[in-house]
Structure 1
Amino acid sequence: MSSEEQQQKKNNEEGEEEALKPLEIENGLRLVPRVKLNLTVYPSTPLTLSHPIDEWKMKRALIDFLHSSHSLTLPEDDDLHLTRLKDLKKRKRDDPVAAGTLRIWDLSSFRTENHRFRLTEKLNGIELNLEGVKFRLAATVPVSDDFQGMKKDWEEHSAFRSRREPDTVVLRGVPSRWFAEPRVSSKPSMLVTHTIFSTFGKIRNLNVAEDDDFGKDANEDSGDLVSGLYCKIVVQFERYRDFHDAMKVLCGRSLQKQGSQLKADYEVSWDKDGFFRNSRNQIQEKNNMVSTRAADHYRSEAPRRQAYNSRHSPDTVRPRRFKE
């Protein structure tokens, strides 16, 4: 291996180690690294269920497996979330019976970023035995946590479609109140958000809006989804390098506020649809439409004004007589 390759390998290892450390940003926020996996539970063989599966027993079976096979201990019950399929009548024999997420905060055994993929491979396909019925577990890394996968995607997009490097990060599912001005409003603030994301580089454009659709599918039966709870942030950087580094830092982390135990999961992606370019076009189209309507209105009013003026033109109006 050449000296350049050795240096590159060293830089990559250092970068992966940095990715496993918390990062302090502005406004009392920090980005906490974690491993997150999406879980889906299938019957090992096509199965018709006569009654719902026991979520608690399935969670215990999976927790025991993680502890015995990987020496992983989950300190909080919320770190493993499983939800069973509720409507058994609509379920086909080979459909999943449950789905959920696994979060691991203790990364002492994850020396590099690739360890999450190794854990995924080990969990993917394991069997869980519940009361004599065997189930198969499918584990995947969320798209939002796969930095290399997204980078490959945007590089291919730039090469074959837009021919320009991406520069815009899209963040969904962050708590609105953490981006608001204290004692002013609970709604996200452009000023506060700009200050926070300036940590990653110089910003060209920024958009912040409430995101009531986030989490609606997962919580449609809970009835406790509050309007304005989450916000969507679209931030365009001046330089590609700042965009790249921001994406790398945001992948595989959760957001935490100083003084709060809550760790907020968010979804990070890159803008492939030209959000700000399309926004400008929509504004321009709207302005053009207003101008066109105004011109049409003026033209339609012109004959009436002309007729009105002709009746009162200087040639037809009698001059006023003033007493001398």
Structure 2
Amino acid sequence: MSAVATLRPTEPLPLPSGLSLAPRLKLLLTFIRADLSVRPVDEWQLKSTLLAFLRNPPLSLPALPDSDLSLRSLPDLHKRRRDEPIASGVLHVRDLSFLRPRSRKGDEEAEVMTPEQAEENYFQWRSSLVDKLAGIELNLEGVKFRMSVEIPPSDDFRAMKKSWENFYASELLSSRNPVRKIAKRPDTIVVRGVPSRWFAETRISSKASTLVTHTIFSAFGKIRNLNISSDDEWGAKQDGTNKDIISGLNCKVWVQFENYDDFNCAMKALCGRSLEKEGSRLKVDYEVNWDREGFFRNAQYKPVRSNLEERDSSAHGRKKHYTSRIDSDHRKRFRD
């Protein structure tokens, strides 16, 4: 059984090219007024009050740095109704080591926990934390705010798996042709918001390389098709303004696996993690989803060559060309 298939929610996953998937919990926070006050939002005071609540009992979240909580007030507060959000934020809980089995006093070995038990333990803790945070009121010098909490859809593997099961079950029931009533399952993941330079060839280009990207995602299983495109919309979405974003900073990747099990393991590993690179302090919160549009069925794309095929061709002295989907006119030659 592969390391991806037995991966626990609290364990990191090393990837090729110096990349790794670091476990973390990400929560989206929304604040509305809980009284009749019209005073503006003090972001610093709101953050300090919430951090104090998170670090003290009954939550006592361990090792929660200030940088893992970001808050910002929403624009045009004077135009918003009382039941509309006035501020939003993101909370990251990156230190999940307290959920891992610990050795008992006097014992040398830690308590053995199966991957299924570790997964259930993590989801129970996550649900408990969300329940404790949802609906709390924060009092800032007499001004009250009520907070709501949401798990990002791309971080909730169980909800996402249920969505594709319901999608294909509905598609099966709606089919009137008995011959076509064959149960289908997804096989393609879509990853957005990853830095192009992390998927590029070192010292050759800053654009994502098909070969490098194929090598990275092959850690999850056998790949049938792969496509890469620039994702400038993601940069504008994260920036939250209408400023011009430098093209090509982020990329969007479609990966079609040869079988459902590899697809399922990839989705499970990518949900609830951040992408990190050796030598960089950046922690990238990408967005992962499954392809319900049939990207590779609706377009003619040639399957990417596997590393094995590349080695075989190199042995015969032939040079191969790989074309990145980011720029179809840009071709690079890889020397044997």
With the shorter chain as reference, the TM-score category is 0.7 to 0.9
1:20 is the counterpart of 2:10: yes
Q: 2:159 aligns with which of 122, 138, 149?
A: 149
Shift of 1:259: 1.0
Match of 1:36 among 3, 26, 35: 26
Contact 2:235 2:250 in 1 (8 A): no
8 Å Cα contact 1:188/1:231 also seen in 2: yes
1:204-241 CA-partner distances (Å, limit 9, x unpaired)? 11001110000423413384843211110000000000
Match of 1:279 in 2: 299
Measured in 1, the distance between the counterparts of 2:6 and 2:52 equals 29
Unaligned runs of 5+ in 1: 1-14, 282-324
1:217 and 1:184 map into 2 onto residues whose CA distance is 29
Whether 1:236 and 2:236 are equivalent positions in the alignment is no
Following superposition, the deviation at residue 91 of structure 1 comes to 1.0
Which letter does structure 2 place at the counterpart of 1:20? T
For 2:138, the equivalent position in structure 1 comes to 128
Residue 207 of structure 1 pairs with residue 195 of structure 2: no
> Would the aligned equivalents of 2:10 and 2:97 in 1 still touch at CA under 8 Å?
no
The 3-state SS of whatever aligns with 2:229 is: strand
Of residues 160, 183, 188, the one that matches 1:168 is 188
Would you say 1:61 and 2:49 are equivalent positions?
yes
Verify: 1:119 aligned to 2:119, yes or no: no
For the residue of structure 2 that corresponds to 1:18, the secondary structure is coil
Considering only aligned residues, what root-mean-square deviation do their CA atoms show, in Å?
2.1
Distance 1:237 1:174 in 2: 19
TM-score of the pair, normalised by structure 2: 0.75
Report the residue type matching 2:76 in the other structure.
Answer: D
Q: What residue number does 1:301 align with?
A: none
Give the counterpart letter for 1:61 in structure 2.
T
Q: Which amino acid aligns with 1:196?
A: I
Aligned residues: 266
Shift of 1:68: 1.0
Determine the C-alpha separation between the residues in 2 that align with 1:89 and 1:22: 44
Trace 1:273-312 onto structure 2 (pairs within 5 A).
Answer: 273-280=293-300
- Answering whether residue 71 of structure 2 is matched by residue 82 of structure 1, we say yes
Could you say which residue in structure 2 is the equivalent of 1:91? Answer: 80
Offset, 1:52: 2.4
State the SS of the aligned residue for 2:256.
Answer: strand
1:187 equivalent to 2:207? Answer yes
Distance 1:133 1:16, change over 3 A: farther
Identity of aligned residues (%): 54
Provide the C-alpha distance between the structure 2 equivalents of 1:71 and 1:230, rounded to a whole number of angstroms: 36
2:282 to 262, 286, 292: 262
Please say which structure displays the higher CA radius of gyration. 1
Per the alignment, do residues 124 and 224 of structure 1 end up closer, same or farther by CA in structure 2, a change over 3 Å counting? farther
Determine if contact 2:195/2:251 at 8 Å carries over to the other structure.
Answer: yes
Contact in 2 for aligned 1:110/1:116 (Cα 8 Å): no
Residue 155 of structure 1: SS of its match in structure 2? helix
For 1:79 and 1:214, how far apart are their aligned partners in 2?
A: 21
Q: Match of 2:215, as an amino acid?
A: T
1:221 aligns with 2:241: yes
Paired with 1:222 and 1:52, the residues of 2 have a C-alpha distance of 24
Per-residue CA deviation, residues 67-121 of structure 1 (Å, 9 max, x unaligned), is 1131125554331011101212321121111001000111123353212222111
1:105 pairs, out of 94, 105, 130, with 94
Would the alpha carbon gap of residues 159 and 196 (structure 1) be closer, same or farther in structure 2, given more than 3 Å must change?
Answer: same
Q: Distance in 2 between matches of 1:53 and 1:237?
A: 47
Q: CA deviation at 1:16?
A: 8.6
Q: What is the CA-CA distance between 1:35 and the residue it aligns to?
A: 0.7
Partner Cα distance (1:48, 1:165) in 2: 52
